[in-house]
């Protein structure tokens, strides 16, 4: 695994790995504005369990964690073949990173370790969301972490903004599907605790973004 680099260097060098100009620009602004990458890095800092990144997109989380020296292999799954191709190209020199085209509603490769699930749940119907979370919980190793970042259902302006931006992402062809429904904190906690996971933390995670995002960290038993 390449040597870890400082945060400022990481957010400058990672976008340059993407040949697609749109993906390169996206990576530049996403890394600068979205606090989720630092938050996941902090959560995974003390683990060396393999990590499965569900809904990985262009592999930006994997790139960031690897560049910052997190000692875990990462396999990313996403149903957008163009994004997976971009993730593979950008990660050609990173042996610990791999990516597959997979619809998360279908079976995926066996895994035991950590699981990350960032900004995915709103694109699933409640029954599909429950099934996905149950399968994610089954991939947890003892003391492994399930890290979820999601917009939560609500009534305020942050929730309305979240829905608007998610819908625009579909209209602008960044996402292949639009938002269907948003979970509540109680829904996530009830379902995953029933799967034997322990909630470590649930915190707002908006940074400079005007969204209703929260970061959940669950631990496997």
CA atoms within a 13 Å half-sphere pointing along the CA-CB vector of 167: 9
CA-to-CA distance for 118 and 145, rounded, in angstroms? Answer: 13
CA distance linking residue 155 with residue 163, whole number of Å: 11
In a domain, 1, yes or no: no
pLDDT of residue 96: 95
2 in a structural domain: no
Q: What's the number of domains the chain is made of?
A: 1
* pTM for the whole structure: 0.90
| CATH number of the domain where residue 51 is located | 3.40.50.150
Whole-number Å distance between alpha carbons of 13 and 17: 7
Would residue 140 count as lying in a domain? yes
C-beta atoms surrounding 200 within 10 Å: 13
Which pLDDT band holds residue 17 (cuts at 50, 70, 90)?
A: very high
Give CA–CA dist 78/172, Å, rounded. Answer: 18
pLDDT higher than threshold 90 for residue 89: yes
Phi, psi of 53 (to 5 degrees): -105, 105
Strand order in the sheet with 51-54: 97-101, 74-78, 51-54, 114-118, 145-151, 213-219, 198-204
Judge whether 163 lies within some domain: yes
State how far the alpha carbon of 216 is from the alpha carbons of 5, 149, 171, in Å.
26, 6, 28
Residue 182 forms part of a structural domain: yes
Q: Tell me the residue range of the domain where 152 lies.
A: 7-101+110-219
At 156 the pLDDT is: 72
- Whether 187 is in a domain gets the answer yes
Q: Pick the range with the lowest mean pLDDT from 29-38, 122-131, 165-174, 187-196.
A: 165-174
From CA 16, how far away is CA 24, in angstroms rounded?
6
> Rounded CA gap, 91 and 124, in Å?
28
Query: Is 136 inside a domain boundary?
Result: yes
Cβ atoms of residues 66 and 95 within 8 Å? no
Count CA atoms within 13 Å of residue 80 on its CB side.
Answer: 17
Structure confidence by residue, pLDDT tens digits, 107-142: 898 999 999 999 999 999 999 999 999 999 999 999
pLDDT digits (tens, 9 = 90+) for 25-80: 999 999 998 999 999 999 999 999 999 999 999 999 999 999 999 989 999 999 99
Task: Give which of 62, 42, 40, 43 is closest to 52, Cα–Cα.
Answer: 62
Domain for residue 192, yes or no?
A: yes
Cα–Cα distance, 22 to 29 (Å, whole number): 11
């Amino acid at each position: 695994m390449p040597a870890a680099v400082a945060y400022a260097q990481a957010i400058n060098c990672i976008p340059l790995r993407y040949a697609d100009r749109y993906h390169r620009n996206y990576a530049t602004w996403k890394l600068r504005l979205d606090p989720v990458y630092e938050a996941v890095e902090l959560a995974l800092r003390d683990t060396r369990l393999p990590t499965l990144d569900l809904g990985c997109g262009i592999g930006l989380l994997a790139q960031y964690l690897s560049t910052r020296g997190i000692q875990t292999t990462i396999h990313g799954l996403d149903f957008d073949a163009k994004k997976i191709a971009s993730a593979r190209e950008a990660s050609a020199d990173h042996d610990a990173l791999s990516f597959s085209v997979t619809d998360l509603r279908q079976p995926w490769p066996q895994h035991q370790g950590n699981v990350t699930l960032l900004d995915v749940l709103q694109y699933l119907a409640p029954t599909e969301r429950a099934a996905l979370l149950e399968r994610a919980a089954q991939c947890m190793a003892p003391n492994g972490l399930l890290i979820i970042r999601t917009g939560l259902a609500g009534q305020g302006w942050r929730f309305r903004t979240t829905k608007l931006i998610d819908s625009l992402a579909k209209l602008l062809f960044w996402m292949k599907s639009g938002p269907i429904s948003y979970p509540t904190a109680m829904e996530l906690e009830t379902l995953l605790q029933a799967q034997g996971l322990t909630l470590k933390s649930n915190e707002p995670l908006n940074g400079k973004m005007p969204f209703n995002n929260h970061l959940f960290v669950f631990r496997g038993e």
